[in-house]
Structure 1
Amino acid sequence: MSAAMGRRRPGGPVLLGGSVLLGGALVGALSLAGGAAQAHPHAWIDVRVELQFDAAGAVASLRQTWLFDPYYTVFATEGMDADGDGRPDPDQLAELLAVHLGNLEEYGYFTAASAAGEAVAFGAPSGGVNAMRGDRLEMSFLLPLAAPADPAAGGFSYRVYDPTYYIEMLHAEEPPAVRLLDAPAGCDYRIEPANPAPEAVGLAAAADRSQRVVPGPGGATIGALFAETVTVDCP
């Protein structure tokens, strides 16, 4: 297996407005102070994914865990410590989870996958959990494939990214960022880093909060240009 290199994280933003995930319209609901508001990304998430295989050796679901940056965490959990113990209350974290997943539905849960070169559809998520990991909010949920996909029959790949690139989403640097659960013998994966052209980097730096699609043919999103790709191969 191989992991992405050359990662970067933005400096600490100051959150002033509604958050990307809390605001209902994920595109452009995050406001920041100073010149940083003119350059993407503004927040980041460390991603871990467990690919769950079925008895036939096909990928059946993706268990995703998103670890939000400390700045977003402070904003998202503000006012949630009703009992004064210094931690957000579990019931309010559960309500926040429902808000997050509800807002993400329109955007395919920030997840795109393909099998044998064809786009993969997903079902509704389940098993969601919000919890604190130190000073950071962690959200976990199970995203099932609408139909299992066999990596041995043409390969399987996925990407997790915010289409607006307001949030940078990269697989966690600490292993294991990807796990293959109950995979057939010989299955392996590789994480391929994005390789955006200088023009794409410039576009991200200049994009405002409402811009989502890259100008020109194809209609690719800005976030897709910066997304890691995880490819799973099975014999």
Structure 2
Amino acid sequence: MKILRAISTVAALCALPLPALAHPHIFLDARLEAVASDDGHLAELRNVWRFDEVFSSSVMLDFDKNSDLKLDNEELAELGETMRASMEDFHYFTTISVDGKDVPVAKPGIIHVTWQHGQILVIFAVKPSKPVPLKGKLAFGIYDPSMYTAVNFPSDGDLKVEGKAFAACKHQVVRPDPDEVIASNKDTLTDAFFNDPTGTDMTKLFATRMEVTC
């Protein structure tokens, strides 16, 4: 089984058996910018992901077709296209909710991948699949439903809103306390895990997010 190529797509790891899902195996530092259009709608979410060195090295070896121990532009482009195709079913780990209801994201036109200081850097933007006016309570975040990938925002400044339309809104970064989440949702989390051990939307309760109230 070509596990290494599956790892390179990140999202494909959601298919691994239960023991592998006990704790994260991939770590990434993220930056997320929610951008508003001038007409008062959510225009897009801009993602910047930096993967850990161990995972990056594994991917480099898998996509290094000419075995020169580096990734050239063609190899990086292939990696980006592989991720763009494979992560579609997982909404690119990017979540949008409006008054508690999820809004799917559209497939990005391209995922840019570069290699910096021994780590893979991924940059892409996604748009909501339908118009999202900046009204009510909105939330934006990144999480892996399989829990195989740990997403970290190093600082609250790594979650931002951009655009004049957000000026009328209040926003805050929320970093849920895992103990409080488990205590408040113990029975629901247990049922969700055993009903779907390969990944559940309940895991987003633990994810850092930006909440916006307009």
Q: CA deviation at 1:221?
A: 4.0
Query: Which of 42, 54, 57 does residue 74 from structure 1 map onto?
Result: 57
Which SS does the other structure have where 1:215 is aligned? helix
Percent identity for Structure 1 against Structure 2: 23
Q: Deviations over 1:64-108 (max 9, x none)?
A: 111111111000011527484x63111101101111121111111
Paired position in structure 2 for 1:63: 46
Q: CA deviation at 1:172?
A: 3.1
Q: Distance in 1 between matches of 2:10 and 2:94?
A: 19
Counting only pairs closer than 5 Å after superposition, residues 185-200 of structure 1 correspond to structure 2 as 185-197=167-179
Paired position in structure 2 for 1:231: 211
Residue identity in the other structure for 2:64: M
Which SS does the other structure have where 2:194 is aligned? coil
Counting only pairs closer than 5 Å after superposition, residues 203-214 of structure 1 correspond to structure 2 as 213-214=192-193
Q: CA deviation at 1:27?
A: 1.5
Q: Are 1:115 and 2:98 matched, yes or no? A: yes
Which SS does the other structure have where 1:96 is aligned? helix
Maintained 8 Å contact 1:157/1:231:
yes
Residue identity in the other structure for 1:224: K
Q: Distance in 2 between matches of 1:40 and 1:20?
A: 15
Provide closer, same or farther for how the CA distance between residues 80 and 47 of structure 1 changes in structure 2, counting only shifts above 3 A: same
Paired position in structure 1 for 2:160: 179
Q: Deviations over 1:179-202 (max 9, x none)?
A: 32223224453221132248959x
Give ranges in structure 2 of 5+ residues lacking alignment: 184-191
Query: Which of 215, 226, 230 does residue 194 from structure 2 map onto?
Result: 215
Residue identity in the other structure for 2:99: A
Q: Deviations over 1:26-75 (max 9, x none)?
A: 31459xxxxx9574011111111121211112212111111111111000
Q: Distance in 2 between matches of 1:22 and 1:189?
A: 32
Query: Which of 14, 17, 20 does residue 7 from structure 2 map onto?
Result: 20
Q: Are 1:142 and 2:147 matched, yes or no? A: no
Q: Distance in 2 between matches of 1:75 and 1:94?
A: 17
Answer 1 or 2: which has greater helix percent: 2
TM-score (norm 1): 0.72
